[in-house]
Structure 1
Amino acid sequence: MFLVMLAPVVIIVVFAIVASRPARLRLRGAHVLITGGSSGIGLEIAKECARQGGFITLAARSKSKLEEAKLEVEPHLQGGGERQCVMILPLDVSAPYDEIEAGIRGIEEKLGPVDVLINSAGISYAKAFEDTPVEKFEELMKVNYLGSVNCTQVVLPGMKQRKKGRIVFISSQAGQTSVFGYSAYSATKFALRGLAETLQMEVKPHNIAVTISFPPDTDTPGFRAEDKPEETNLIAETSGLFAADVVAKGVVRDMVKGEYMSIYGLDGFMLGHMTAGMAPCNSTLSALFQVLLMSPLRIVGLAYLKSFDGIVLKCMQKREKAKAATSAKND
């Protein structure tokens, strides 16, 4: 009875304190810069933004892959007028800041200032911690984290001056919970979350919105090329594999609405609301879910972690058994 009486009070309080969303962004005529735009999620985001009238700049390291990606995106151009186009920017986001700034400034001279920045460039590496070279930790941090920092540093002053803009960070579900084999990768994706939360607080008064996306395993060329430990693969199987275009449409939908967090699927729903903590929230419905479900979802999360620990233990025992058998055979 008490809980029934308390529910309306909770709803009223949440409604009163949850921050309002910024005005909905119209992509028609907006300059959208997408790092990592030559393949995977970045490429699919480019197609979706083109369908909604955006002027697209694809940025990535390989010029030849960018040219192929441009040909894929151009058929999706619509609603942006005769001037709507797709341009390419060969760019390594791990390069020195001056090079990144020069590249983005050059493209802005042609298409106008960047209205939307999608930080999608990223690389992965999946090995147990002791099997991960120290250089890999540095490489992933330069690309996945500092690459996003540097690109954002270039475009943010202009957005603040114009009092509008969107900045998107593509993190990962591995940036919400630990996964065996992703010690180098997860650290960079957790770092993006800290950056996004801080930046959102700083830019909100300037009518700029930050969205951080937490995709699950996604069917991309990079994902298919990964050589992952057995434990990582078995844990990944528990949440399934999403198509890149499904994730991309979710990113664009939430970015346009000005949502802070973009999540996907049942596992994404669970992780998003269970790990919200002090993260920004501008959706009353999401805030209510977080208030009401965080405790029961914690129980579900603990059950998942117990099953993951079981997977890791079984794989270790399997390797030790195989090693012992090999040793006995050699003796």
Structure 2
Amino acid sequence: MTQLYKAVVLITGASGGFGQELTRQLLKAGSRLILTDLDAAILHQKVEAIQSEISTGEVIACLAVDLATREGSENLYQQVKKLDIPVDILINNAGIGLFGRMDEVPSEIWEQLMQVNLLAPMRLSSLFAADMITRRKGHIVNISSLAGWSATAGMAHYSASKFGLRGFSEGLFNEVREHQVKVTAVYPFFSRTPILRSQSFGSLSKLIEQGFPESLATDPVDVMRATIQGIVNDKLHVFPDPTARSVHLLKRYSPLLLDLISHAFTRRLKLAQRQ
């Protein structure tokens, strides 16, 4: 099992919905956190609000990093090394979303998404795994998505990044397991976080003009609680909500039925936009 108490945990995308909930729950578990995001001022503000409620755990550092570039990942690694505190758990949580038909999304937009969602976790895993292998201790967690199992219209780019992260996580697991390093990949359904308000482009953007129905979205508190439990239990694949578990099973055992359900859901969105 992976121990959380006193464990040094590095969380990327710590200002976002999942990042804030990870921060809150890991502090309650007594972890020592290194938090990163684009804007240090916003991150400090959110962390202070959480620490006013929670007195356990410790925030070691809040670091401003742009993970959309190779230099950003290397910069983060060097900043953490300067702290001279080995990282026990790396949580690659940072991610961005978009919605639109693949030929109607500007290339610079979807290429940035691939940098943040897929290449940054690969880069950081490579950098920190080397230290973990040397210590024969560590845990790498990649927050993928249910979109890493099933791709719907408007999400080709996002799903490609999350499918890729799933494949990378499986390969990484098989490469580092003999060195006592753990790997966990997490596949949540849409949750009530800012990613529901991602940019949309082109003809398909009409499907979500009013946003994703929040009544269908999951609670990030519950999702991250299940995620952390999966980390503690050293699970490779974690489906942290009922929708994720159901869609995963349908994808494996009844993909045609899942296609019918996906088409019906798209029609429901279209009808909702007309009303």
The alignment's TM-score, normalised by the length of structure 1, stands at 0.73
Q: Are 2:227 and 1:251 aligned?
A: yes
Give the equivalent residue in structure 2 for 1:187: 160
Could you tell me whether the CA contact under 8 Å between 1:45 and 1:248 is conserved in 2?
A: yes
Alpha-carbon separation, structure 2, partners of 1:140 and 1:117 = 20
Give the equivalent residue in structure 2 for 1:156: 129
Give the equivalent residue in structure 2 for 1:269: 245
Give the equivalent residue in structure 1 for 2:2: 25
Q: Closer, same or farther in 2 for the Cα pair 1:307/1:273, shift >3 Å?
A: closer
Give the equivalent residue in structure 2 for 1:326: none
Alpha-carbon separation, structure 2, partners of 1:199 and 1:109 = 26
Q: What do the CA deviations read for 1:15-62 (whole angstroms, capped 9, x no partner)?
A: xxxxxxxxx111111110000001210121111111111111111111
User: Per-residue deviation at 1:140?
Assistant: 0.9
1:46 to 18, 23, 41: 23
Q: Closer, same or farther in 2 for the Cα pair 1:46/1:101, shift >3 Å?
A: same
After TM superposition, the structure 1 = structure 2 runs for residues 73-92 of structure 1, keeping only pairs within 5 Å, are: 73-74=50-51, 75-78=53-56, 80=57, 84-92=58-66
Q: Are 2:216 and 1:240 aligned?
A: yes
User: Per-residue deviation at 1:108?
Assistant: 3.8
Alpha-carbon separation, structure 2, partners of 1:90 and 1:32 = 16
Question: Amino acid of the residue matched to residue 244 of structure 2?
Answer: G
Give the secondary structure class of the aligned counterpart of 2:98.
coil
Question: Amino acid of the residue matched to residue 124 of structure 1?
Answer: G
Alpha-carbon separation, structure 2, partners of 1:53 and 1:76 = 10
Alpha-carbon separation, structure 1, partners of 2:246 and 2:257 = 13
Give the equivalent residue in structure 2 for 1:306: 260
| Matched length | 270
Question: Amino acid of the residue matched to residue 92 of structure 1?
Answer: D
Range that drifts further, 182-191 or 261-270: 261-270
Alpha-carbon separation, structure 2, partners of 1:242 and 1:149 = 27
Give the equivalent residue in structure 2 for 1:327: none
Alpha-carbon separation, structure 2, partners of 1:49 and 1:191 = 27
Give the equivalent residue in structure 2 for 1:59: 36
Could you tell me whether the CA contact under 8 Å between 1:70 and 1:86 is conserved in 2?
A: no
User: Per-residue deviation at 1:269?
Assistant: 1.4
Alpha-carbon separation, structure 2, partners of 1:55 and 1:216 = 28
Task: From the CA coordinates, give the structure whose radius of gyration is larger.
Answer: 1
Q: Closer, same or farther in 2 for the Cα pair 1:314/1:217, shift >3 Å?
A: closer
Give the secondary structure class of the aligned counterpart of 1:218.
coil
Could you tell me whether the CA contact under 8 Å between 1:214 and 1:268 is conserved in 2?
A: yes
Q: Closer, same or farther in 2 for the Cα pair 1:311/1:118, shift >3 Å?
A: closer
User: Per-residue deviation at 1:161?
Assistant: 0.9
Unaligned runs of 5+ in 2: none
User: Per-residue deviation at 1:68?
Assistant: 1.4
CA RMSD of aligned residues (A): 2.9
Q: What is the percentage of aligned positions where both structures have the same residue?
A: 26
Question: Amino acid of the residue matched to residue 169 of structure 2?
Answer: A
Give the equivalent residue in structure 2 for 1:202: 175
Q: Closer, same or farther in 2 for the Cα pair 1:161/1:57, shift >3 Å?
A: same
Range that drifts further, 86-95 or 50-59: 86-95
Could you tell me whether the CA contact under 8 Å between 1:50 and 1:73 is conserved in 2?
A: no
Could you tell me whether the CA contact under 8 Å between 1:58 and 1:70 is conserved in 2?
A: no
Alpha-carbon separation, structure 2, partners of 1:61 and 1:238 = 26
Give the secondary structure class of the aligned counterpart of 2:224.
helix
Alpha-carbon separation, structure 2, partners of 1:111 and 1:51 = 24
After TM superposition, the structure 1 = structure 2 runs for residues 274-289 of structure 1, keeping only pairs within 5 Å, are: 274-275=250-251
Unaligned runs of 5+ in 1: 1-23, 276-293, 320-331
Q: Are 2:10 and 1:37 aligned?
A: no
Alpha-carbon separation, structure 2, partners of 1:124 and 1:134 = 14
After TM superposition, the structure 1 = structure 2 runs for residues 1-20 of structure 1, keeping only pairs within 5 Å, are: none
Could you tell me whether the CA contact under 8 Å between 1:212 and 1:260 is conserved in 2?
A: yes
Alpha-carbon separation, structure 2, partners of 1:316 and 1:244 = 26
Could you tell me whether the CA contact under 8 Å between 1:93 and 1:150 is conserved in 2?
A: no
Range that drifts further, 179-188 or 217-226: 217-226
Give the equivalent residue in structure 1 for 2:190: 217
Give the equivalent residue in structure 2 for 1:7: none
Q: What do the CA deviations read for 1:116-143 (whole angstroms, capped 9, x no partner)?
A: 0000111101012232122222111111
